[in-house]
Amino acid sequence: MFVEAGGDPLFVFESAFVALAELRALGLQRVTGDLRVDGPFLFNWEADDGVRLKAALSGRQGATAWPAVQSRRADLASVTLAQAGLTFSGSSRASAEHRTLLAYRSPRELDR
């Protein structure tokens, strides 16, 4: 899984869980390979090379933020963060082919 980052200063656990919910809605449950970040990536206000983001998308970190996202999505009402988490298996495989599954941007009011 490749994440193209642009230094978004407001990508926090709730953001990761909104992205996770969208990926799950697309049918994604398992990632063959690892998570790689390209570009400057800030997660919870700190530089991250993808390790903490992967832990959040796997359902292993950020449990206190899960209810905020869960309460806004009927499809997540009875799903725990651990159940929703993606499974990553194997190591990164370089591929010339990439397909965009999801784009996440901070709200416009925060760009000022």
- Whether 102 maps to a domain, the answer reads no
Rounded to 5 degrees, φ, ψ at 51 are -65, -50
- Whether 55 maps to a domain, the answer reads yes
- Whether 23 maps to a domain, the answer reads yes
- Whether 98 maps to a domain, the answer reads no
Give this prediction's pTM: 0.85
Q: Does residue 110 have a pLDDT over 70?
A: no
The pLDDT-based confidence of 108 (bands split at 50, 70, 90) is low
Total of domains in the chain: 1
The pLDDT-based confidence of 82 (bands split at 50, 70, 90) is very high
- Whether 103 maps to a domain, the answer reads no
DSSP string, the chain: -EEE----TT--HHHHHHHHHHHHHTT--EEES--EEES--EETTEE-SSHHHHHHHTTSS-TTTHHHHHTT-GGGTT--HHHHPPEEES-----S-----------GGGG-
- Whether 108 maps to a domain, the answer reads no
- Contact, 33 vs 90, CB < 8 A? yes
Q: What is the pLDDT of residues 92-102, one digit of tens each?
A: 555 556 677 88
- Whether 90 maps to a domain, the answer reads no
For residue 27, give its domain range. 2-82
Q: What is the pLDDT of residues 38-61, one digit of tens each?
A: 889 989 989 999 999 999 999 999
Q: Does residue 9 have a pLDDT over 90?
A: no
